[in-house]
Amino acid sequence: MRRAGSRRRISSPTKGRPTIGREGITLVQKTNCMHRFVLVALLVGMPLMAAELQVDHVTVAGRDLGAMRRAFEAAGLVDEYGGPHANHATEMALASFPDGSYLELIAIQPQADPAAVAANQWHGCLEGDGGPCGWAVRPADLTAEASRLRAAGVSVTAVMKSGRRRPDGVQLEWETAQVGRGNGNFFPFLIHDFTPRERRAYPSGKPTTTAFSGIVRVVLAVKDLDAAIAQYQQAYGLAAPQRQDDAGFGAKLAWFAGTPVILAAPAGPQSWLAERLRRFGETPCAFVLGGAPAGQAGSKWFGKPVSWLAPDVLGWRLGVE
């Protein structure tokens, strides 16, 4: 029995527990966000494997980074220099967005090793100013996702470590695995950071622009639409896509709802898309940003207007929906 006048000792709820710093809070917030995404996926009937198709970044390739950046700026877009890669072949700049995704401009280093350039899997797009050439996703567990894809009959390479040093001297380190043929040409390659991911996406500590929310569509040029649909369904367990034709874009389209993936097959053998496939093979042919369309919409895809940002200036297709 407690003696009269004595006080009950109340232990502090934080006593004996580690405190959570700012980085820990950020991690908890990101974990909660992923849990919410999974819950929404379950509620709407989206396959959980589609959760792995959230864009980390997309890549646009060319010979001269300075020229690419000037065209980017002339089209009304903002980027910042990210530094040379450790492969002795390429350097990059990037435009980053509030949702964490970013668009990478990649080109040949001024003093690049010719052998390293020739060995780069994007060398055709680099040397041919090919524009869109690849994309990446950042799964919650790279090893588990690689195993799942292999079990689905999709080839995945061994993990390779890479990195680059930012102009401010900050070293970035990550690892990647290629999925299917090429390096993010058709299926996205997988990436996992060893250093904080924010340092890779936001060199200045914040998005380069808030005019656009992020990268919402990756448009993949494919030779055979039905075959490409079957491959994505095999890899990610996706339901049948929605389809439409866009005569202005010169393509037959298929979009997997709940994902950023739009497959685009040429409307005819003389279309720009057919010529692109002959030159560069099956690669991304356009990217679409989230945000209010600028000016008159050039297309309407699956109920949403899409305007194209100065394709004659950029030399490739970047849309806004």
pLDDT along the chain (321 residues), means of 10: 42 39 39 43 47 90 97 93 91 96 97 93 94 96 96 96 92 96 94 96 95 97 98 96 96 97 96 96 97 74 93 94 92
Spatial separation of the C-alpha atoms in residues 145 and 141, rounded to whole Å: 6
Query: What is the model's pLDDT at position 181?
Result: 87
Contact between 139 and 52 under an 8 Å Cβ cutoff? The reply is yes
For 106, list phi and psi in degrees, rounded to 5.
-125, 135
Fold held by 214-320:
2,3-Dihydroxybiphenyl 1,2-Dioxygenase; domain 1 (3.10.180)
pLDDT of 230:
98
Choices 3.40.50.2300, 3.40.50.1240, 3.30.360.10, 3.10.180.10: CATH for 48-201: 3.10.180.10
Residues 6+ apart with CB under 8 A from 85: 91, 92, 109, 162, 163, 164
- Which helix (H) or strand (E) covers residue 264, if one does? strand 261-266
Please provide residue 38's backbone torsions phi and psi, each rounded to the nearest 5 degrees: -65, -40
Report the pLDDT value the prediction gives residue 143, as an integer from 0 to 100.
95
In whole angstroms, give the CA distance from residue 123 to residue 137: 21
C-alpha span between 288 and 33 (Å, rounded): 23
The structural domains of the chain, with segments of one domain joined by +, span 48-201, 214-320
Note whether 48-201 and 214-320 share their fold: yes
Non-local CB neighbours of 275 within 8 Å, separated by 6+ positions:
none
Task: Give residue 140's pLDDT.
Answer: 93
User: Quick one: 201 exposed, middle or buried, by C-beta within 10 A (0-12, 13-18, 19+)?
Assistant: buried
